[in-house]
C-alpha cells in the first residue's frame, strides 16, 4: 500500500476540541495510519515525505448543503468544490434530488439541479451513474420530498392521498435501504407547499427507521420563520430523527435582527431533540426567479435565464428599466431562470455562522451561467473573512464547522476528523493566504492558498491542478 508522511504540519483535527498542534500524519492506502509529534523520527527514513511547514492540515471539508446531484455526473472533476478543499458533498437538499424522478422537463425549483437529467428511477441507478463518472469528491445523498411528490402525486395543489403517501414512502424506503442517508424537504416551493403534516411525518418516519437525517428548507424564511422552525422541529421530533435546518437566514429587511429570536428558539428545541443548522457566509441568497421576491427593496442579480441567457449577471433593476417595465414583469419575461437576492443582514449572518450548532453548506448552484459566488468561495471565505480577518471564529472552530461537526450530524463515523483509522480525506492550506476570490462580479474565480487535497488517500489537487478522481458514494457505516 502506498504511504506518505506529511511532515511538520499545523494539525487541526476537526473535532473543535483539540487545539491545533505541530506534528506529522502518516497516510497509508485510503486511511490515516498514524498521527504524532515525532513520527518522522520513528519511521523509516526512506518513506516518501512532504514538508508541510507553515501549512494547516485538516480533514477534507464536507459541504453540508449542495445541489451537486447532477454535477457529480456531468462535471466529475468537481472543480468548484475541490478547489475549496471540499472532499464530500451532501446532495439532494431543499426537497430537490435527481432521484427518483423521471422527467424531461423538470419544473422549478427542480430545474436548479439540471435542465433535463432526471432519468434515475432509484438510488441504485443514480449511484451507478455517479460511480461510472468517477467524481473527484465523495457524495452522500438525501432524497427530496419534492422529487418524490412529483413522481407520485397527481395533483400538486393538494396534500398527498393515503395511496400516494404509501407510494412515496415505499420509494423512500427503497432508496434508504439502497444507501441514501436521509430525507430533505422544501415546502417554500410550490410543488411541495401543499404537503400537510401527515405527508411530511409519514416520510420522516421512514427516514427515522433507517437511522437517516431530515434536512429542511423551511416553509418560510421571512415573516413566518419562527412558525416554520417549529413546524420542522415538531415533525422531526415526532418521527424521532435528527433535524438539519438548511441555509438558516432571516430574509427580507423586516426580518433583520430576528436571528436573536430564531437562535433562541433553536437552542430551546435542541434541548429536546437532535438538531443542527447550516449556513453560507454571504448576504445574498440565490434561487429560481420568483415574482414575489421582486419586492422593490431587495437588489436582485440574474444568475441564469432560459429566455434571455445573454442577460445573466445583470441587475434586474437595469433590465426592467431597459425594458421600461416593472421588476415583477421583467421576472415573468426572463422565466425560467434564477437570481441572487440581497436579502440578509451582516449581523444575522455573523450570529448564525458563529453559533455552535451551525455547520457550513455552500448551497452552490453548479449549473447557473453566472452563479452566486458561494459555489466557488464558501469554504475559504469562512476562514479568510470570518476567521482570519474578523476574528469571529478560531481556526479550530472554522475547521470543525466545515468537517467534524458536519460528519457527526450526517452520521459519518470515519470522516471529518483526523485520527488513526479514519478515511484519508485531507486538506492542506496556508492559513495566511487561503482566501476566496469569487465575488458577485467574478463568481467563478477559484480560491488561492490551497496547497493540496487528498480524497480517500489519493492526491486529488495540487496547487491549482486537479489530479486523481477518487470520490465514492458514501453509505451509512
Binding site for Zn ion (CB under 5 A): 94, 217
Q: Is residue 286 at the binding interface for Cu ion, with CB under 5 A as the rule?
A: no
What sign for the dihedral angle of Cα 390, 394, 395, 398? negative
Residue from 94, 269, 316, 473 touching Cu ion (CB under 5 A): that is 94
- Radius of gyration for the alpha carbons in the chain, expressed in angstroms and rounded: 22
Cα-based torsion angle of the residue sequence 443, 348, 275, 31 in order, rounded to the nearest 10 degrees: 40
CA 190 distance to own-chain centroid = 22
Residues 346-365, mask of contacts with Cu ion (x by CB under 5 A) = -----------------x--
- How many residues lie near Cu ion (CB under 5 A)? 3
Judged by beta carbon, residue 266 or residue 459, the one nearer Zn ion is 266
Judged by beta carbon, residue 246 or residue 259, the one nearer Cu ion is 246
DSSP lists the bridge partners of residue 20 as none
Q: Can you say whether residue 46 is alpha, beta or left, with left for phi > 0 and alpha for psi between -120 and 50 degrees?
A: alpha
If contact means CB under 5 to 8 A according to the sort of partner, which of Cu ion, Zn ion, none does residue 151 touch? none
> 476 Cβ partners below 8 Å, 6+ apart?
179, 181, 210, 211, 212, 411
Judged by beta carbon, residue 63 or residue 231, the one nearer Cu ion is 63
Distance CA 15, CA 173 (A): 32
Judged by beta carbon, residue 94 or residue 232, the one nearer Cu ion is 94
Q: Is residue 13 at the binding interface for Cu ion, with CB under 5 A as the rule?
A: no
If contact means CB under 5 to 8 A according to the sort of partner, which of Zn ion, Cu ion, none does residue 164 touch? none
Q: Is residue 244 at the binding interface for Cu ion, with CB under 5 A as the rule?
A: no
Phi–psi pair at 86, nearest 5 degrees: -80, 125
Helices first, then strands: H and E counts in the chain: 16, 22
If contact means CB under 5 to 8 A according to the sort of partner, which of Zn ion, Cu ion, none does residue 40 touch? none
Judged by beta carbon, residue 361 or residue 471, the one nearer Cu ion is 361
Scan for cell 481556526, then name that residue.
395
Judged by beta carbon, residue 94 or residue 359, the one nearer Zn ion is 94
In the complex, which residue's CB is closest to Cu ion? 94
Residue 385 CB, shortest distance to Zn ion, in Å, is 22
Residue from 15, 66, 93, 111 touching Cu ion (CB under 5 A): that is 93
What does each C-alpha distance from 121 to 100, 129, 244, 327, 353 come to in angstroms? 4, 12, 26, 39, 37
Residue 377 CB, shortest distance to Zn ion, in Å, is 18
Residues 298-317, mask of contacts with Cu ion (x by CB under 5 A) = --------------------
Cα end-to-end span (Å), the chain: 23
Could you list the residues that contact Cu ion (CB under 5 A)? 93-94, 363
Amino acid at each position: 500500500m502506498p504511504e506518505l508522511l506529511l511532515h511538520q504540519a499545523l494539525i487541526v483535527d476537526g473535532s473543535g476540541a483539540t487545539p491545533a498542534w505541530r506534528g506529522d500524519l502518516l497516510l497509508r492506502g485510503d486511511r490515516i495510519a498514524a498521527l504524532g509529534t515525532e513520527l518522522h523520527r520513528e519511521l523509516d527514513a526512506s518513506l516518501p515525505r512532504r514538508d508541510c511547514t507553515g501549512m494547516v492540515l485538516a480533514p477534507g471539508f464536507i459541504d453540508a448543503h449542495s445541489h451537486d446531484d447532477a454535477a457529480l455526473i456531468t462535471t466529475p472533476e468537481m472543480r468548484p468544490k475541490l478547489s475549496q478543499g471540499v472532499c464530500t458533498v451532501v446532495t439532494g437538499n431543499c426537497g430537490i434530488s435527481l432521484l427518483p424522478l423521471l422527467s424531461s422537463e423538470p419544473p422549478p425549483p427542480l430545474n436548479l439541479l439540471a435542465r433535463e437529467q432526471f432519468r434515475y428511477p432509484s438510488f441504485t441507478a443514480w449511484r451507478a451513474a455517479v460511480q461510472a463518472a468517477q467524481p473527484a469528491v465523495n457524495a452522500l445523498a438525501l432524497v427530496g420530498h419534492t422529487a418524490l411528490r412529483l413522481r407520485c402525486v397527481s395533483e400538486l395543489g393538494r396534500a398527498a392521498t393515503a395511496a400516494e403517501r404509501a407510494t412515496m414512502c415505499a420509494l423512500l424506503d427503497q432508496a434508504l435501504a439502497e444507501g441514501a442517508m436521509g430525507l430533505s424537504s422544501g415546502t417554500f416551493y410550490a410543488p411541495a407547499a401543499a404537503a400537510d403534516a401527515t405527508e411530511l411525518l409519514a416520510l420522516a418516519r421512514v427516514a427515522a427507521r433507517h437511522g437517516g437525517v431530515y434536512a429542511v428548507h423551511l416553509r418560510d424564511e421571512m415573516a413566518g420563520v419562527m412558525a416554520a422552525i417549529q413546524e420542522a422541529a415538531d415533525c422531526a421530533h415526532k418521527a424521532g430523527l435528527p433535524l438539519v435546518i438548511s441555509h438558516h437566514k432571516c430574509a427580507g429587511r423586516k426580518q433583520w435582527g430576528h436571528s436573536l429570536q430564531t437562535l433562541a428558539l433553536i437552542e430551546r428545541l435542541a434541548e429536546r431533540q437532535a438538531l443542527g443548522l447550516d449556513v453560507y457566509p454571504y448576504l445574498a441568497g440565490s434561487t429560481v426567479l420568483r415574482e414575489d421576491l421582486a419586492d422593490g427593496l431587495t437588489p436582485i442579480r440574474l444568475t441564469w435565464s432560459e429566455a434571455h441567457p445573454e442577460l445573466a449577471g445583470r441587475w434586474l433593476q437595469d433590465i426592467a428599466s431597459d425594458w421600461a417595465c416593472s421588476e415583477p414583469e421583467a421576472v415573468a419575461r426572463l422565466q425560467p431562470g434564477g437570481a441572487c437576492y440581497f436579502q440578509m443582514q451582516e449581523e444575522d449572518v455573523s450570529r448564525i455562522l458563529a453559533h455552535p450548532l451551525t455547520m457550513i453548506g455552500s448551497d452552490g448552484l453548479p449549473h447557473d451561467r453566472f452563479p452566486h459566488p458561494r459555489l466557488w468561495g464558501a469554504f475559504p471565505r469562512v476562514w479568510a473573512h470570518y476567521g482570519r480577518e474578523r476574528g469571529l471564529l478560531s481556526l479550530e472552530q472554522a475547521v470543525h464547522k466545515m468537517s467534524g461537526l458536519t460528519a457527526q450530524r450526517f452520521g459519518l463515523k470515519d470522516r471529518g476528523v483526523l485520527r488513526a483509522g479514519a478515511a484519508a480525506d485531507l486538506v492542506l492550506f496556508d492559513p495566511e493566504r487561503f482566501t476566496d476570490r469569487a465575488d458577485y462580479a467574478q463568481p467563478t474565480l477559484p480560491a488561492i492558498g490551497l496547497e493540496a487535497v487528498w480524497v480517500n488517500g489519493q492526491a486529488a489537487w495540487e496547487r491549482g491542478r486537479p489530479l486523481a478522481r477518487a470520490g465514492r458514494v458514501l453509505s451509512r457505516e
